[in-house]
Chain A
Amino acid sequence: MLSSPVQFLRSMWIIIRFEFSRVFLSARGWMYLFTFGLTWYFVLNYLVLNITPLMAQDAGWPVPELTSYWRVALYLFPGLCLMITANQTCSDRSRGTLRFLVLRADRDSIFFGRFIFQMLIQMMLIVATAATALIAAVMQDGALMGVGLGSAAIIVTNLFIVLIPITAMMSLLSLTVNSTRQVMVLAMLIWVLASAVIQGVSYYFPFFEVFDLIIPGRQLSELSGLPQAETLSLAYVPLLQGLALLFAGRLLMQRASL
């Protein structure tokens, strides 16, 4: 009999691997990746590289192609995150598949295993897309390789951190409703309603504006205006949001009826 922490980690690893096989060992998974790759090709060519000349003057960012990538990806990935991470547990729960799983793996390893898988797959997409922008930059000027690698690393780290609370929010919402679509609708509603409520109340009570920071992604507009060197200064916001949402999601998972 394995000890609990070892069993937890082992189960989580098996769950993460199984989820990866959903993407890389199925025709549907490859179709999604192909579609994403094709879409990204157009976004890179007709959006990112098109606005690159406008970024050349940005003193805070050394590689224009990566600057335009950063501005696009900062909004693209959170939107994409809503779509690809919505179905973490909802389908399995409504179908009853989780009942097979919880007899063999504790609820924590299922919840965190699915969350970590979503973060890893998004990390892969971020790295792959950032690499294409870096390649585009190096093709223009080979000397940008060194500085571009550093810049890309900061961008990738930032994007990864930005997606933590959004993915965690989807982990939590996925436990509350029965379909992917409902999760996405609920996430949009929370974003819109919570923003509206906070803005409305802040009008009368300005101190209430601080609650704006509890909404995942609310720091994005501020973040997009920062020079590269300062982007990580706001990382505490998504990290704290992520922690709080994962804590709430874990609690909900523990108490959920399956």
Chain B
Amino acid sequence: MSTIIRCENLSKRYGSNLALDNVSFELQSGAPIALVGPNGAGKTTLFSVLCGYLHPSSGSVSLLGHKPGSSKLFGQVSALPQDAQLDPSFAVHKQLSFYARLQGYGGKAANIEASRALELMQLTETEKSLPGSLSHGMLKRVAIAQALIGKPKLVFLDEPTAGLDPANARNIRQQISSLSDTTTFVISSHNLQELERLCETVLLLEHGKLQQQTQVKVNTKTEWDFLTVLMNDSQTNDVQATLQSLACVESIASKNKNEYIIKYNQQKAPDLDQQLLKILSEKGWSYRQLTRGKSLEDQLFSS
């Protein structure tokens, strides 16, 4: 693992509006990284600064040790920018092949690489299509395909699955997973469940400030851990009381109907999940989901 992005005291101002306010963080290469936050939090501005589309008002940024926009990053860093569209005059394959050439591929190799990227997004049949003849979802997939040309070390994806049908969204998640051994993805999305599955590190931006940089993965070294259990409907009312009676359970919160977040001492009861399953079985209660830790939503937004 090595430092792939470093931001120090980064600010970006649009007139009187401070879109990024003194943001500092350091990210390591490896598993996908999530960037979350409400609309207007500064996510796209941060992406734009990282990609070199915007110059910061103050502070410094480096990607793989170079300033954004540096020619040293060509072919190493790519992105799915928000709302960027392809040139309507050329077929999608021709444009991707052009991008591959700029990344250093020769003529034939560029054509092959463009086809490979489109194939990853299951878009082989659209190679000769003009962008104007494709649907919104297909255009987004073509734009993701352009981000996957070559072997980039770092890929920024701004809302990669927004507006896509479930099957294609799933394919994109699968591609991200399969490529994440060699490529570090930074993904901005409002779909927390998706991010939870894909990412290990999460950055939370609010009002242009970095509020949290947290790890999604379960930390077995901490004293307290959480189990989140989602029960089927029509369970008896004494679920919460029964769960509370388990040894080493500190507290139980029920934010949504049938969903319980159990806080427990994992060092004293490392096998609480197994105890819980045993009780559910004994009581004849059926559950839909049992998750180790809190959901990303609860981690980020519960007080």
Contacts and interface: CB of A to CB of B under 8 A. Distances in A.
B85 interface: yes
A100 B84 contact: yes
Interface string B72-105: 1111011101011111011000110011011110
Interface of A: 1-2, 4, 7-8, 11, 14-15, 18, 21-22, 26, 28, 92, 95-97, 99-107, 255, 257-258
B52 A11 contact: no
B3 to A, nearest CB: 20
Interface residues of B, number: 33
Contacts of A105: 74, 102
Nearest to B69: A102
Contacts of A21: 90, 94
Given A26-B89, A104-B75, A105-B74, A99 B53 contact: yes
A255 B53 CA distance: 10
13 contacts: A15-B102, A22-B90, A26-B90, A96-B81, A97-B85, A99-B53, A99-B79, A100-B143, A104-B74, A104-B103, A105-B102, A106-B74, A257-B55
Nearest to B101: A14
Chain A's interface: helix, strand, loop or mixed, by majority? helix
The 8 closest A-B pairs by CB, nearest first: A96-B84, A104-B102, A258-B53, A99-B81, A99-B84, A95-B85, A105-B102, A14-B101
B89 A102 contact: no
Contacts of B87: 92, 95, 97
Given A14-B98, A257-B53, A103 B85 contact: no
B71 interface: yes
Contacts of B71: 4, 7-8, 106
Contacts of B74: 7, 103-106
Contacts of A258: 48, 53-54
A104 B110 CA distance: 13
B23 to A, nearest CB: 18
Contacts of A4: 71
Contacts of A92: 87
B86 A97 contact: yes
B184 interface: no
A102 B146 contact: no
A100 B146 contact: yes
B121 interface: no
Nearest to B104: A2
Contacts of A11: 102
A26 B98 CA distance: 16
Contact of A100 (B48, B55, B72, B86): B86
Contact of B89 (A15, A28, A255, A257): A28
A97 B84 CA distance: 6
Interface string B12-50: 000000000000000000000000000000000000100
A11 B102 CA distance: 6
Contact of B77 (A7, A26, A96, A103): A103
